[in-house]
A = this chain, B = another copy of it.
Amino acid sequence: MAKSGKSQFAILGMLALLKQSSGYNLKKHIESTTHNFWKETFSSIYPVLESLEQQKLIIKIDEAPENERQRNIYTLTKKGHKILENWLIQPAENIQIRNEFLLKLFFGNLIPVDITIQHLKDYKKKLRTYLSSYQAIKKDLSILDSSEKLYGSFTLDHGIEMVLASLTWCDTTIKKLQAQQNKNL
């Protein structure tokens, strides 16, 4: 079955940046660059590549270099570039955000305060992990050329700023809950 959502554009865009790539390689690059706001799995990448090829937005490159393992290398066609650019110049649609962590917190008065505090502390740990992984990604950005690096640094900075703001909010929230806890002693 052909997929037709946003994955299409994510893959098209990444392929445009890399000029040419296999599905496997695409996944690797998505993981090392857009991981904090966009992920893809093999199960979506391969069918999407097939669908994009059928739509003539990408083509398979016939490179049969000797001694090399069999793999499918794709590159964008002119039509592919056109479709991609057309999508890029449109403003983004509203995001559907579902945050299970916040949902649980919202229902916090249904469980003991100390469990919620623990959840917040665990969340902080996770956020710190994200922070260091973003710093690792920042290093990986050097793979791409300088103009791409610029935009990559923007999205990465966004992630970093969000994590930092979250960490501050966690601390404030924990303090408020602890104050609540003391009041009830």
Q: Which residues of A contact B (CB under 8 A)?
A: 6, 9-10, 13, 16-17, 33-34, 36-39, 84-85, 87-89, 91-111, 115, 119, 122-123, 126, 147-148, 150-152, 154-155, 157-158, 161-162, 164-166, 168-169, 172-173, 176, 180
When distances are taken between beta carbons in the complex, the residues of chain B under 8 Å from A110 are 13, 16-17, 84-85, 88
Residue of B nearest to A101 (CB): B92
- CB-based contact B37/A6 at 8 Å: no
- CB-based contact B157/A173 at 8 Å: yes
When distances are taken between beta carbons in the complex, the residues of chain B under 8 Å from A111 are 85, 88-89
Complex Cα distance, B118 from A7, in Å, reads 24
Residue of B nearest to A118 (CB): B91
When distances are taken between beta carbons in the complex, the residues of chain B under 8 Å from A17 are 107, 110
- Copies held by the complex: 2
* 17 cross-chain CB contacts under 8 A: A13-B110, A33-B106, A34-B103, A37-B98, A84-B110, A88-B108, A88-B110, A91-B119, A91-B122, A95-B101, A97-B97, A102-B155, A105-B154, A109-B151, A150-B180, A161-B166, A162-B166
Complex Cα distance, B91 from A115, in Å, reads 9
When distances are taken between beta carbons in the complex, the residues of chain B under 8 Å from A173 are 154, 157-158
- CB-based contact B38/A103 at 8 Å: yes
- CB-based contact B100/A93 at 8 Å: yes
- Known interface pairs A37-B102, A91-B122, A102-B158; 6 further A-B residue pairs with C-beta atoms within 8 A, sorted by A's residue number: A13-B107, A38-B99, A88-B107, A154-B176, A158-B169, A165-B165
Residue of B nearest to A145 (CB): B109
Determine how close the nearest CB of chain B comes to the CB of A83; give it in whole angstroms: 12
